[in-house]
Amino acid sequence: MNQEQLPWVIKEGPRTDRDITVYALSTCGFCKRALAFLDHKGFRYRYLYMDQIPVDTKNEIKAELKATFNEYVAFPFVVLDGKSHLVGFIEPDWVRTLGL
Amino acid sequence: MTEKTVEQTRTFTKMVAAKQGWVLNPDAAFYEILAEGLTTNWNRHGYFLCPCRDSDGSRETDRDSICPCLWSKDDIATQGHCFCALYLSPEFAASGKTPGSIKDRRYGD
């Protein structure tokens, strides 16, 4: 599906070297922590609250992510540069993966 | 369906924690996100769906993820906190460690 038409929120930041896409839930503490982490580190990224889009659309996105990354989708689910991913928020893992 | 307030949700979480011998997440800001998330989910779905899980679309299929979720007891015993980190074991809380995401056992071990 064409995800570009979805209600993405773009967060600007001075670090633009990584293409970061976050699939999150507006109700989730770890998702909020993950977004705050990216803000604090100054990354430019985009996020989508999956609980605020139609269920059919959400399920389609989840199926695409599962097929692409061979992993069930839990939140936050982050796609880096379109080719790798992180699931959940464990700060040391994010620090290492983002090369901080 | 009668809507719930965040205060009513806080009361619910306190009752669950007291009954199970668990500790509510002592990080006040994090706890508030979860209490507000649970409230949103109640008012959206009619039940306290785990704030860190999305709905499959019906109460029947979400049943295992209604707070306290099916895996909470085991996750708290083995990992120190439940999936969303609303509830902590007394030992984990006393350790001062910060909870991090754990595997979602909804999709199997």
The domain containing residue B93 runs over which residues?
Answer: 6-107
Point out the residue among A27, A74, A91 whose CB comes nearest to the CB of B40: A27
**Is the pLDDT assigned to residue B109 strictly greater than 90?**
no
B50 found inside a domain: yes
B80 in Cβ contact with B102 (< 8 Å): no
- Which pLDDT value is given to residue A2? 86
Is pLDDT above 90 for B30? yes
For B33-87, write each residue's pLDDT tens digit.
999 999 999 999 999 999 999 998 889 999 999 999 999 999 999 999 999 999 9
How far apart CA B92 and CA A96 sit, in angstroms, is: 25
For A18-32, what is the mean pLDDT?
98
Chain B contact set for A26 (CB, 8 A):
37, 40
Determine, for residues A88 and B102 on separate chains, whether the beta-carbon distance falls below 8 Å.
yes
- pLDDT confidence of residue A1: 80
Cα distance from A89 to chain B (closest Cα, Å)? 5
- Residue of A28, A49, A50, A58 to mutate, interface with B, max B Cβ within 10 Å: A28
The count of structural domains within chain B is: 1
Q: Please give the domain boundaries of chain A with CATH numbers for all domains.
A: 3-97 (3.40.30.10)
- pLDDT for A75-98, tens place per residue? 999 999 999 999 999 999 999 999
Q: Which residues pair with A78 in a beta bridge?
A: A22, A86
Average of per-residue pLDDT across A24-29: 98
Assess if residue B94 is contained within a domain: yes
Whether pLDDT at B28 is above 80: yes
B74 three-class SS: helix
Asked if residue B51 is part of any domain, the answer here is yes
Is the model's pLDDT at B18 over the cut of 90?
Answer: yes
CB count within 10 Å of CB B92 equals 18
Q: What is the mean pLDDT of residues B94-107?
A: 92
Q: Indicate whether B100 belongs to any domain.
A: yes
B67 CB neighbour count, 10 Å cutoff = 25
Summarised one tens digit per residue, pLDDT across range A36-65 is 999 999 999 999 999 999 999 999 999 999
Considering the domain boundaries, does residue B1 fall inside one? no
Question: Inter-chain contact B37–A27, Cβ cutoff 8 Å?
Answer: yes
Query: If DSSP codes are grouped into helix, strand and coil, which group holds residue A48?
Result: strand
Decide if pLDDT at A15 tops 90: yes
User: ipTM score of the complex?
Assistant: 0.94
What's B100's domain CATH number? 3.90.460.10
- Whether residue B34 lies inside any domain: the answer is yes
